[in-house]
Amino acid sequence: MDLEKREFGPLSIIPGMNRGRYPYCHSVYVEDAGVVIDPASDRERLAEIKAHRKIQIVWLSHWHEDHFMHLDIFDGLPLWMSEQDSPPLADTEVFLDWYDIIDKDERVYWSAELREKFHFRPRKPARFLRDGERIDLGDLSVEVIHTPGHTPGHLAFFFREPQILFLGDYDLTPFGPWYGDRYSSIEQTIDSIHLLKKIPAKVWLTGHETGAFEENPQQFFDDYLTVIQSREDKLLDFLKQPRSMQEIIGAWIVYGRKREPVAFYAFGERLHMQKHLEKLMANGAVKFENGKYCRIS
């Protein structure tokens, strides 16, 4: 069952299809200010808002396709986002590079997906949102919070007067954080989650699934962080014997089991395991020899 539109003072959350699970997300709408954040929720609802309400500007929390899928509805309006996350929005090839998509056939497939499913076209932001700046929206002010890790320029937004924090893709879901892109970082993800935990909010809005927490979600933050260590512990246990990358992917440490389409989920497994392996090798906990990874000691 899809979620219903919910209002929190001056903000509304426009629920994404299928509870905001990929390839959708929840959008935030600030009606009096005419701001839409992350327009990838429900195409019909967003088109209705565009047709019958005052929309002046679109903000993106970050560059991922499941947060801009319906941005084309608002073509012609100014787009604001972080400078760090703007390069993939300007060029399809850069977009694919940032996802670390190397295989030629995969690049052909994803190029078509971006055009046809996600309505991608090269875009340049009208303005960059910067960490720590406060934006006046009339009776409402917003603090921009740089929260790298998920992406280099991921942003959260703290609406100060109602004390509402939009977490973007730090979504507090049981799956845990995504940090698989070429320029993602496990360490920065952890730091950003700790930062967000400290914001004095009364309502927490997320980009996926639950969508809104009206009671302090500290346990959800803690559980979300625990997923990172759990993945690493399972990987280290699996590496008691030398394993190839293909064997590591086949262990399904991130997704728990083999899922369809296999190529899509195997891609996610590879990206995340690669990040953990890089971290563990840098810390001297894992070595790579003869095409295989193995735990040290």
**Hey, what are 18's tokens?**
């299928």
Domain definitions of the chain by residue range: 6-222, 239-295
Residue 1 has what pLDDT? Answer: 42
**SS3 (DSSP) at 75:** coil
Q: What single letter denotes the amino acid at residue 81?
A: M
Task: Report, at the CATH architecture level, how domain 239-295 is classified.
Answer: Orthogonal Bundle (1.10)
Q: What is the pLDDT of residues 216-234, one digit of tens each?
A: 999 999 999 999 999 999 9
Are residues 207 and 20 in contact, defined by beta-carbon separation less than 8 angstroms? yes
Could you tell me the fold of the domain covering 6-222?
A: Metallo-beta-lactamase; Chain A (3.60.15)
Q: Is 190 exposed, middle or buried (0-12, 13-18, 19+ CB in 10 A)?
A: middle
- The structure tokens listed for 108 are 């052909």
Q: Can you tell me which residue has the tokens 């499913």?
A: 117
pTM: predicted TM-score of the whole model, two decimal places = 0.96
Contact call for residues 60 and 38 (beta carbons, < 8 A): yes
The span from the CA of 173 to the CA of 58, in Å, is: 25
Tell me the pLDDT tens digit for each residue of 144-158: 999 999 999 999 999
List the chain pLDDT tens, one digit each, 297 residues: 456 778 999 999 999 999 999 999 999 999 999 999 999 999 999 999 999 988 999 999 999 999 999 999 999 999 999 999 999 999 999 999 999 999 999 999 999 999 999 999 999 999 999 999 999 999 999 999 999 999 999 999 999 999 999 999 999 999 999 999 999 999 999 999 999 999 999 999 999 999 999 999 999 999 999 999 999 999 999 999 999 999 999 999 999 999 999 988 999 999 999 999 999 999 999 999 999 999 998
